[in-house]
Structure 1
Amino acid sequence: MKRTERLHAMSEMLRRGGARGYTAERLAREFSVSTRTVKRDLAALANSGAAVWSRPGPGGGFGLVAGNTLAPVTLSPSQATALLAAVAAAPDAPYSDQAATGVQTILDVLDPITRERAVELAGRVWVNAVRGPTRAVQSALEEGMAAQRVLRVRYRSAAGARTVRDVEPVLFASTDGQWYLVAWCRLRDAIRWFAVTRIERASVTAQPCAGHTVREVGDPPEHARPAHGRS
C-alpha cells in the first residue's frame, strides 16, 4: 500500500474509531508498518489539517476530533446499494480500493435506518467477480496514471511472449469486460492497448510523461464514455 493510500485509510479508521481511538501498536498491526512509521503518518495527517488527538498513558491512543468528518449525505437505500454493488462487482477496476473506502465513508454518515436498509438490500445482491492484476501491479498503474509518470511493465502478449517496456499512461479503458491500460509504448513508438490482466509487473519511474493526450488514442469503442458520465 502506497503511503498516500495508507494515510487515507488510517484517517478513515481513526474516524470510525470514535472517542475510543486506537493505540499506535494497533495501527501498526493493521497497516503492517512500525509504530515509528505510524507516528510519522499521524504527524503528517495533523500537518495536513486533520484534527488528530492523542491520549497518553494506559488506555490512551489516537483518534480524530468528533465533527471532523464528511457532512451528512442523503441517499435512498437503493442508491446506497447500487454503490455497494458497483464496487463489489468491479474489483479489477482502476482505483477500486479507494472506491470501496469512499463508499464505506458514505455509508458511515447515512442515517442509521437508511444504512440498515441498504445493508439488508445489499445482502440480496450477490457478485462473483474475479480479481484481475495483483494489488502491487494495480497500485503502480494507478499511481503512474495519476502522477503522469512513465511506467516500466513486464507484459505478456496473447501468444505468451514477454517483453519489458517503458510506457506513458494515457487512459484506462474497459471494453467487453476487459480493462486495458492505453499508453504510449516507447518500445513500439506508438499508442498501444495493454490488457491489464497480462501486465505481470509494473513500477513507477521518476520520468515524467511527455504529454500524450487522449485524442491520440483515436475514436473510443462504440458507446464508450468517460467515467465522470459527462458528454
Structure 2
Amino acid sequence: MKRAERLHALTDSLRRAGPRGRSAQRLADEFQVTVRTIKRDLAALSSSGLPLWSRTGPGGGYGLAERTALPPVNLSAAQALALVSAVAASPHAPFGDSAGAAIRKILDVLDPATRRRAAELSARVWVHPGPAPKRSVMSPVEQALIEQVTVRLDYVDATGTETTREVEPMIFAYTGGRWYLIAWCRLRDAVRWFDLARITRATQTRRPCTGHDVAEIGTPPPGSAPLG
C-alpha cells in the first residue's frame, strides 16, 4: 500500500474507532508498518488540517476530534449485504483490499438501522473462498497495471518450472474460476496468460510499457466481457 492510500485508510480507521480512538500499536499492526511510521503519518494528517486528538498513558491513543461529514448513501440492508458478500467471496480478485476498504466506507455512512440489519443478515451468509493471494504479490501487479509500467514476476507454470520474467500488464481476466494477468511477456516476446495463483513474487519497475493494445490479446473466452 502506498503512503497516500495508507493515509486515506488511516483516516477511515480512526473514523470507525469513534470516540474510543486507537493506539499507535494497533494502527501499526493494522497497516503492517512500524509505530514510528504511524506516528509520522498521523503528524502529516494533523498538518493537513484533520482534527486529530491524542491521549497519553494507559488507554491512550489517537482519534478524530469530530466526525468528518460524508455524503449520504441510500442503500437497503439487502444491497449492503450483497456488496459485502461479493467482496468476501472474491478475495482472489484484483484490487481486493481496495474493495474491502470501499465497503467499510459505505457501511460507515449507512443509517444505523440499515447498518444493524445488514450486520444481522450477514450471519446468514457463509463464505469459504480459500486463501487469497499474498498482498506482496498482488499490490505490485495491480499498481503496475494502473501506472502502465513493467513488473518482474517469479512464475511457476503447470509443469512446476519456475521462470523470472519482465512483463507489460495489459488486463486482468477471470475465466474458468481463476484470475489471470494477461501481459506482454518480454521473455517470450508474446502475449501470455499468467495464473495469479502461480505468481510467487512480483516487483514493480519504473520502466514504462511499450503500448501493446488489448486487441492483441485476441477474442475473449465465451461469455466474457469488460466490466465497463
In the alignment, residue 165 of structure 2 is paired with which amino acid? R
- Alpha-carbon RMSD: 2.1
The answer to whether the aligner puts 1:54 opposite 2:69 as a matched pair is no
1:36 aligns with 36
- Partners of 1:26 and 1:89 lie apart in 2 by 27
1:151-180 CA deviation, whole Å, 9 max, x = no partner?
Answer: 000111111111100001111000111100
- Partners of 1:16 and 1:195 lie apart in 2 by 36
- Partners of 2:46 and 2:209 lie apart in 1 by 32
1:94 aligns with 94
Gaps in structure 1 of 5+ consecutive residues: none
2:211 aligns with 211
Cα distance 1:161–1:84, how it changes in 2: closer, same or farther (>3 A)? same
1:185 aligns with 185
1:173-205 CA deviation, whole Å, 9 max, x = no partner?
Answer: 001111000111001111111111111111111
- Partners of 1:44 and 1:217 lie apart in 2 by 43
> What TM-score, normalized to structure 1?
0.88
> What TM-score, normalized to structure 2?
0.89
- Partners of 2:153 and 2:187 lie apart in 1 by 11
Cα distance 1:117–1:177, how it changes in 2: closer, same or farther (>3 A)? same
In the alignment, residue 104 of structure 2 is paired with which amino acid? Q
Contact 1:15 1:69 in 2 (8 A): no
Q: Which moved more, 1:18-27 or 1:98-107?
A: 18-27
The answer to whether the aligner puts 1:114 opposite 2:123 as a matched pair is no
Q: How many residues align?
A: 227
Contact 2:15 2:67 in 1 (8 A): no
Cα distance 1:167–1:127, how it changes in 2: closer, same or farther (>3 A)? same
In the alignment, residue 87 of structure 1 is paired with which amino acid? V
Contact 2:181 2:193 in 1 (8 A): yes
Gaps in structure 2 of 5+ consecutive residues: none
Cα distance 1:164–1:46, how it changes in 2: closer, same or farther (>3 A)? same
Cα distance 1:60–1:191, how it changes in 2: closer, same or farther (>3 A)? same
SS in 1 for 2:19: coil
1:131 aligns with 131
SS in 1 for 2:154: strand
Q: Percent identity?
A: 52
Q: Which moved more, 1:171-180 or 1:11-20?
A: 11-20
- Partners of 2:85 and 2:190 lie apart in 1 by 37
Q: Give, in angstroms, the shift of residue 24 of structure 1.
A: 3.1
Q: Which moved more, 1:149-158 or 1:207-216?
A: 207-216
1:109-130 CA deviation, whole Å, 9 max, x = no partner?
Answer: 1111111111222211111101
Contact 1:2 1:139 in 2 (8 A): no
2:14 aligns with 14
1:58-96 CA deviation, whole Å, 9 max, x = no partner?
Answer: 576433353424322110111111101100110000011
